[in-house]
Structure 1
Amino acid sequence: MADVTDSRPRWHGVLERIAAARRGDASESLAALFVLGATVVALLWANSPWGWTYDAFWHTSLAISVGDASIDLDLQHWVNDGLMAMFFFVVGLEVKREFALGELRDRSKAAVPLAAALAGLALPAVLFLLLNPSGEAASAWGVVISTDTAFLLGALAVVGPPRAERLRIFLLTLAVADDVGALAIIALVYTDELHVVPLVVAIVGLLAVWQLRRLRVWRGGAYLVVSVVTWVAFHESGVHATLAGVLIALLLPVYPPKRREVERAAALTRAFRQSPSPEYARNARLGLERAVSVNERLMRLWQPYTAFIIVPVFALANAGVPLTGETLRAAATSPLTWGVVLGLVLGKFVGITGATALLARVRPGSLAPGLRMPQVAGGAALSGIGFTISLFIVDLALPDPVLADEARVGVLAASLIALGLGAVVFRAGRSSLPDEPSRDLLRAVDPHRDHVRGPVDAPLTIVEYGDFECPFCGKATGSIRQVREHFGDDMRYVFRHLPLDDVHPNARIAAEVAEAAAEQGRFWDVHDSFFAHAEALDRDDLLQYCADLGVDVDRIEDALHDGRPQNHVADDEIDARSSDLPGTPTFYLGVGDAVPQRHVGPYDAATLIATLERMREETVDAR
């Protein structure tokens, strides 16, 4: 089907397969390596015998004219103002998605990384201004506020600890909030002058994007035309043109696929299968595209280009600092250089770690399960890698080329120091962590969140991580039934999700529908029904089982569209991966207030009963 519905260039698929830096679906170090390679090339070029050609090339003028109107920029500013608008567009898409469907949607879960991000914005700026309180250099305080997400995640993949999924989500949430702060500062601080007429045109362009959204226009072409006009208007208004990309992205709609559109796309695909023709192929492709929000389609399209072309080209155009003896001596004694290093390295490390530790102490349990302060400290150290947006703000804040070079040296030095500091902190933190994943249940049983069968305060606990399509989990339900009959009200049973997508293609949607039914208080009804029909669990089957039970299917559709069930399932899955669970079913057994322990061995009813009885006797003897 991919050959039928995907008309993009073949080489786009190659880029997409390696696009990892901001999606997290492959090696996250690869995109960072692209940027690092471009940086090394820029430094070698600027410091080679032909170094004079670096500035000569990037300051070559290129004008685009339409009638009497024209935009005349050198190549470096076409990269910084033009190509980087696409980078900030993708950042805006990610910010919008995180607030609508991701970690930032749940404000309680996002509270700690948001507070850490604010501290990581404020303290670096304060430290920078301590060394540069006045003069032209003081205007560069924005250089130290931002973390480079691609480098951060790439570095985490290289020097970070194993089983760091929760840390990765914490840092990604923090980086998104960091991006929001950086973008706001660029808009408010680094706009020198305003021209009213172009600004009005830009606002009209944004209103046009909003109107296209209201009219539910889903094709990208209409948005493209309006976006180009809006970018030009922003450029002529004096507001930095890259902000056009952010604001347009924030206006685009994002939502989970709607059932009606998914069914329509499936029907069009079946029609093509029955009667292959170019017309049916086109209809099938358009149907599939329409089922996905404009936000996610454009994010998927542009992420590979930004990660592997635009940002490396930006690095190539901006990182070429002549590292002569004179430049290095000037940087070594420059308050500007040391302010950048101090702000990025110490400010980020102390600000993020301190804010997180303070909130963890004030609000016990506010850190995600399995996330420990040594891990946070290592991630905070890596957050001092402020490469992309830092270099971007250098260009905005420092027109003096000498000061700009000193700041760029500071950014490069801070990034290297932050990487080394992160590696040291992670290595030191590993000494306090076990080599093997703990057998303790990572997330304590929470009656307000978990699905509990039996009295919530029962002295015996069984927690299962299961998969509705797993035949072994289906058999285990019989064992659990016998165990519950044996212990009666002395036992509570908790079910959590671990869908094995590689072998059970319908397990995830089954888990999500079950969570949607849980909002109507019907989790256990659909739990039993899904296991009873484990051989037929596609979406239509699942909804029919719910309807047969009298569950409101429309409310299930609404919940799935809102994204709450998906987030619950993803949380369970991350807990399981962080605990390095071997598969499904996996059981944890506990007695009283003790943390449930992972059960190793057979899980037939007799074994589970005997194990719980033994654990209860040991608890009584210990008392």
Structure 2
Amino acid sequence: MFLALVTVLALAWANSPLSESYFALWHQEVGFDVGPVGMHMTLHHWINDGLMVIFFFVVGLEVRQEFAHGSLRDRSRAQLALIAGVAGVALPALVYAFVVSLSGGSGLGGWGAVVGTDTAFMLGALAIVGPRLSGQLRVFLLTLTVVDDFLAVSIIGIVYSDEIKLVPLLIALACLIGLWALGRSRQWITGPYVIIVIVLWFATVSSGVHASLAGMIAGLLIPAYPTQRQEVVAARQLFRDFWQSPSAASARGVNRGLARGISVNERMHEVLRWPTALLVVPIFALANAGVDLRGGLLADSLGSSVTWGVIAGLVLGKLLGIGFATLLAVRMGLGRPPEGVGMGSVFGGAALSGIGFTVSLLVIGLAFGSTTDLGRQATVGVLVSMVLAVALGWLIFKIAAKRWGEETADLPMVLDPTVDPEVDHIRGPQDAKLTLVEYIDFECEYCAHATGSWDDLRAQFGDDLRYVVRHLPHHPHGPLAAKASEAAANQGEFWRWLDFVFTHQDALEREHLLAYAEELGLNVDRFIQDMDSEAVAQRVNRDLVSAEASGAHATPTFFVEGRRLLGDYDARTLTAALEARRRGTRTQEAPR
């Protein structure tokens, strides 16, 4: 909404009696000289070639995260995103070229204006006009825009760059090699990366290659990996040292220890994502969206093939390219859409992908110049496309909900089936006012620590809380450990078994489990018979079916009063969620 407000402000300013001040502002020359080194550009260029590099750097960071431990690790999802993303870039460009060529081909060079999607605007529109729950569709569209952004930035860097200068280009390449080497050495300190990225930006701007490409590639080279549990455990010891002997040195040790546990990529992303969303992109919008519509520009635009080429490319090209490519790929078995997302929702999201704002305006400035007649006409096409894409997406979502019952595009949020005292494992009074359900895997380190929160929760809620455990084994030793726990449950020792085995997660082979049964005083012969029985296998499978029906795909996953908890699951967060349910309110849920 803030981005839309800034866009409206730019248009109002450019069409007001103060319009001259609007255009004069962005043409002010700004620069600096430090000895023999200096750089001077207009304010408009500083924004487009400087600030926007931060935007594309953040995009690169997100792409690297998706490949490291996100949606693009799933081959089926990655393949579907690749197919839809390429089609969503190629078809709009072809549609634009076809429409423009019908009137002689003047303006063909602006075909890159229709290849990109503005992720921020698209997700904002999805939140407003999309299904009531659209988390999985959001993941699909984000995965898709990873491919879209990479191709769009590559096109900008290759097609719309100026005359190339060799020496600065070689320096830029050396910087990229330096980033790669830092990543390979698992350097966890942020400073060296930042210094190299700054040098890379200077070199790229001087070389004539558009800096957006360097920003994207730099982000891709910043290492990303899942949180390192051993580093988290080490940080806990450092915090204990600080707790026992607080000092500046021990505090610095805690900060360094915490940083080691999280990848440089994620730490940079956390620092940059909000300034990028709330400062960089709005400033870009303010500097680029202001087009003077007076003097017959609207009438000229309605008769311009460039305007209609942009509209057709973004609105129709994106819809047909992404929508039908996804449909065809799914029919041919080349990929699968996220669970809970129907094809109607896919087409609705494809329509919203026709919002090309950021990349479109950037390319228009490079291809035509933002103040030329063709540039202004193309800008009008981008602004009209935004309105049409949102309206078309809203219409498709409404039709999908009414005709195909696609009222949501997300995983289920409600526990299914509800807690059954005759079947489920319950800790605490069966008639307690509050219910907390956790899906666990005995080999999941995070389950062991999250399940350990029970003592804190019990102290807070007493007999008002019952705690229920269900199985979701997905680690190598998880299925056998789950069956073993059910064999222990048949002897009335489920909870003692759970507490014991969670302290022995590094040894879950069959011989280890049998030794644990003996150590806990169980009837080992009966334990073996039950562990290998069909009844126990069906009991574990019952929880697996329940997890899928409830939208639990990872461990630990918690349900507070029958509703899936999204986000963190530490004792403080669980306490707040339970307290909110006890008061009859809902906590603010953040996406996992």
**Normalization by structure 2: what TM-score?**
0.75
> Would the alpha carbon gap of residues 497 and 136 (structure 1) be closer, same or farther in structure 2, given more than 3 Å must change?
farther
The 2-side partners of 1:326 and 1:427 are apart by 36
The 2-side partners of 1:313 and 1:538 are apart by 56
State percent identity of aligned pairs.
41
Contact 1:122–1:145 (8 Å) recurs in 2? yes
Q: Secondary structure at the match of 2:425?
A: helix
The 1-side partners of 2:471 and 2:227 are apart by 14
The 2-side partners of 1:168 and 1:109 are apart by 13
Note the alpha carbon deviations across 1:203-234, whole angstroms, 9 max, x for none.
11111112222332211111111111111111
> Would the alpha carbon gap of residues 525 and 245 (structure 1) be closer, same or farther in structure 2, given more than 3 Å must change?
farther
The 2-side partners of 1:322 and 1:419 are apart by 23
Contact 1:62–1:74 (8 Å) recurs in 2? yes
Pairing 1:538-549 to 2, within 5 Å after superposition: 541=503, 543=505, 546=508
The 2-side partners of 1:144 and 1:508 are apart by 52
Match of 1:180 in 2: 150
The alignment's C-alpha RMSD in Å is 3.9
Q: Secondary structure at the match of 2:224?
A: coil
Pairing 1:265-304 to 2, within 5 Å after superposition: 265-304=235-274
Match of 2:67 in 1: 99
Q: For 2:174, which of 183, 200, 204 is the aligned residue?
A: 204
Deviation at 1:188, TM superposition (A): 2.1
**Code of the aligned partner of 1:150:** A
What are structure 2's unaligned runs of at least 5 residues? 431-437, 454-468, 514-543, 565-592
Tell whether 2:293 aligns with 1:323. Answer: yes
Match of 1:88 in 2: 56
Q: For 1:506, which of 422, 426, 450 is the aligned residue?
A: 450
The 1-side partners of 2:474 and 2:66 are apart by 20
Q: For 2:494, which of 513, 532, 536 is the aligned residue?
A: 532
Tell whether 2:398 aligns with 1:398. Answer: no
Match of 1:419 in 2: 390
The 2-side partners of 1:305 and 1:471 are apart by 52
> Would the alpha carbon gap of residues 168 and 273 (structure 1) be closer, same or farther in structure 2, given more than 3 Å must change?
same
> Would the alpha carbon gap of residues 200 and 280 (structure 1) be closer, same or farther in structure 2, given more than 3 Å must change?
same
Tell whether 2:551 aligns with 1:575. Answer: yes
Match of 2:90 in 1: 122
**Code of the aligned partner of 1:87:** F
Q: For 1:368, which of 338, 342, 350 is the aligned residue?
A: 338
Note the alpha carbon deviations across 1:380-420, whole angstroms, 9 max, x for none.
11111111111111111113622111111111110111001
Q: Secondary structure at the match of 2:380?
A: helix
Pairing 1:164-563 to 2, within 5 Å after superposition: 164-363=134-333, 366-399=336-369, 401-434=372-405, 473-475=424-426, 506=450, 514-518=473-477, 524-525=483-484, 532-533=494-495, 541=503, 543=505, 546=508, 550=512
How many pairs align? 493
Deviation at 1:109, TM superposition (A): 2.4
Q: Secondary structure at the match of 2:315?
A: helix
The 1-side partners of 2:179 and 2:188 are apart by 11
The 2-side partners of 1:361 and 1:57 are apart by 53
The 2-side partners of 1:98 and 1:285 are apart by 26
The 1-side partners of 2:279 and 2:267 are apart by 19
The 2-side partners of 1:267 and 1:581 are apart by 31
Match of 1:600 in 2: none
**Code of the aligned partner of 1:543:** Q
> Would the alpha carbon gap of residues 319 and 508 (structure 1) be closer, same or farther in structure 2, given more than 3 Å must change?
farther
Contact 1:466–1:497 (8 Å) recurs in 2? no
Q: Secondary structure at the match of 2:39?
A: strand
Match of 1:450 in 2: none
> Would the alpha carbon gap of residues 542 and 240 (structure 1) be closer, same or farther in structure 2, given more than 3 Å must change?
farther
**Code of the aligned partner of 2:450:** N
**Code of the aligned partner of 1:368:** P
> Would the alpha carbon gap of residues 222 and 190 (structure 1) be closer, same or farther in structure 2, given more than 3 Å must change?
same
The 1-side partners of 2:507 and 2:127 are apart by 42
**Code of the aligned partner of 1:50:** L
The 1-side partners of 2:549 and 2:180 are apart by 36
Contact 1:465–1:585 (8 Å) recurs in 2? no
Pairing 1:22-41 to 2, within 5 Å after superposition: 33-41=1-9
**Code of the aligned partner of 1:417:** L
Deviates more, 1:57-66 or 1:271-280: 271-280
Match of 1:51 in 2: 19
The 2-side partners of 1:302 and 1:116 are apart by 28
Note the alpha carbon deviations across 1:475-529, whole angstroms, 9 max, x for none.
49xx9xxxxxxxxxxxxxxx97799xxx997159999994223478655447878
Deviation at 1:259, TM superposition (A): 2.6
Contact 2:424–2:470 (8 Å) recurs in 1? no
**Code of the aligned partner of 2:356:** G
> Would the alpha carbon gap of residues 255 and 539 (structure 1) be closer, same or farther in structure 2, given more than 3 Å must change?
farther
> Would the alpha carbon gap of residues 83 and 317 (structure 1) be closer, same or farther in structure 2, given more than 3 Å must change?
same
Q: Secondary structure at the match of 2:476?
A: helix
Contact 1:464–1:585 (8 Å) recurs in 2? no
Contact 2:227–2:262 (8 Å) recurs in 1? yes
Deviation at 1:35, TM superposition (A): 1.1
The 1-side partners of 2:41 and 2:400 are apart by 49
Deviation at 1:538, TM superposition (A): 11
The 2-side partners of 1:164 and 1:267 are apart by 40
Note the alpha carbon deviations across 1:255-285, whole angstroms, 9 max, x for none.
1122321121111111112222222222111
**Code of the aligned partner of 1:474:** H
The 1-side partners of 2:500 and 2:161 are apart by 53
The 1-side partners of 2:16 and 2:48 are apart by 24
